[in-house]
Structures are given as C-alpha cells and as structure tokens.
A and B are shown apart, each in its own frame.
Chain A
Amino acid sequence: GEDVEQSLFLSVREGDSSVINCTYTDSSSTYLYWYKQEPGAGLQLLTYIFSNMDMKQDQRLTVLLNKKDKHLSLRIADTQTGDSAIYFCAETPFRSSNTGKLIFGQGTTLQVKP
C-alpha cells in the first residue's frame, strides 16, 4: 500500500539544526520530495531525491534516504525563524510514475524560537 508518516511537530532554537523525519511504505517509490508550506501560501518544492541516491545536499538542506528502512529525513542547518512552516514529505510510487501523482505525509510543523 501507499502510506507516508511524519511526526506532527518540531520545535528548535534559531541557529540549531532541525531534522524532520518521514517513513514510507511503498518500496517502489521513484522520487521522494520535501515541500514547504508557509501560512496562507501554496506548497513550495524544497528539494527531492531519486530513489537510487542516499544523500543530497543543497545549501542548508541535506536529504538522507535509507531505502532499507524506508526512511527519509530533511536536515536544515542553522535554522532561521523564516524556516518556520509546515514541511511535507511526499513520494511518487512507481505505479504512479506515468502520472506523477504524489502521496503526501501529514506534514510536520516546524517552530523556530528566537
């Protein structure tokens, strides 16, 4: 089946690192994504990783993928107050690769305290 799970809330202090975790059940997933949703705004793609990779770094963002455990994480270095938002993990299962349909987790609310 297709299921994506995330913890619902994370609170960190400004300047610390944040790690948001996600688990998924469909081992056929081709791409895995992290989206950010700020209040009143649509979702913005932050980064993505192809399933044959185990790590991707993009400036302050590091994505780690453990295919064996079906675990994805997003690390934000030097977290800023502007990073406060809801972060969604999403996958494209192989069976949906001809549509690009995304399966989303519930979202993790990141609160950054000054």
Chain B
Amino acid sequence: GAGVSQSPSNKVTEKGKDVELRCDPISGHTALYWYRQSLGQGLEFLIYFQGNSAPDKSGLPSDRFSAERTGGSVSTLTIQRTQQEDSAVYLCASSVTGIAVHNEQFFGPGTRLTVL
C-alpha cells in the first residue's frame, strides 16, 4: 500500500472490555513496531516483529497486552480487560528491516483509544 494504515482511527470502550487494534504495514516491510503515545508522554515502545523471528515483547506493560502478526504482514494488538490508564494513541510503524544500520520507520496515523 501507499503507507501504513491503522484501524479503527478512534475506539471508545468501557472499562473491562477487550479491544483489537489493526495495523497494515507497507508492503514488503519485514519489520513492524507498536508504540503507545499517552497524553503528555513521549512514545513508548511496546513490541517489535521481524520476519518470522520471535517478537521482542519487552515493552508490553502487562500481560493484558498481546500482539500477533499473521503471514508476516498485518498485525493485531489486543488489550484484554481494558483499564482507564490504557487510554492513549497506539501507533504502528514499519520499516524495510529492523536489523542494524539506519532504518527509517514509517508511521501510521494511529488509533486513539478511550477507555471510559
């Protein structure tokens, strides 16, 4: 595709519900990242996928958060039993490769999650 796309653009949910956020990376990009942007905070790394390798989940804040990347392309970030502190903009990025050297990450427009 022309760029990284994310859906939905906005999601309002009630505390305790599960949500799924979707990311379509740029075609041919092997690396995919999820970041979280909370109000007044910088972007916080959540998880990284590279090809068929095991993902780097070191940034996931709790076991309520999980992510999958099917077929090396589309990724889904799932938040179970959402809490109000999960309210944030969730950004997805992809790059040609995540391995060493400079690799430009292309960001999607984000999904704004509001937990009531």
- Residues of A that sit less than 8 Å from B by CB: 4, 6, 31, 35, 40-45, 48, 50, 88, 90, 97-107
A-contacting residues, B54-103, CB 8 Å: 56, 59, 91, 93, 95, 97-100, 102-103
- What's the least CB distance linking A12 to chain B, in Å? 22
Q: Which residue in B43, B50, B109 is a CB contact (below 8 Å) of A88? A: B43
Residue of B nearest to A94 (CB): B100
12 A-B pairs within 8 Å (CB atoms) are namely A41-B109, A42-B110, A45-B104, A50-B102, A88-B42, A88-B43, A99-B56, A100-B97, A100-B98, A100-B103, A102-B35, A102-B45
Sorted from nearest, which 10 A-B pairs have the closest CB atoms?
Answer: A42-B107, A100-B98, A104-B43, A104-B42, A43-B107, A106-B42, A42-B109, A100-B103, A99-B98, A99-B48
A4 touches B42 (CB 8 A): yes
- What's the least CB distance linking B29 to chain A, in Å? 11
A42 touches B102 (CB 8 A): no
A residues less than 8 Å from B97 (CB atoms): 100
Within the assembled complex, what's the spacing in Å between the Cα atoms of A40 and B110? Answer: 9
A42 touches B42 (CB 8 A): no
A residues less than 8 Å from B35 (CB atoms): 102, 104
Within the assembled complex, what's the spacing in Å between the Cα atoms of A102 and B43? Answer: 9
B45 touches A103 (CB 8 A): yes
A residues less than 8 Å from B104 (CB atoms): 45, 48
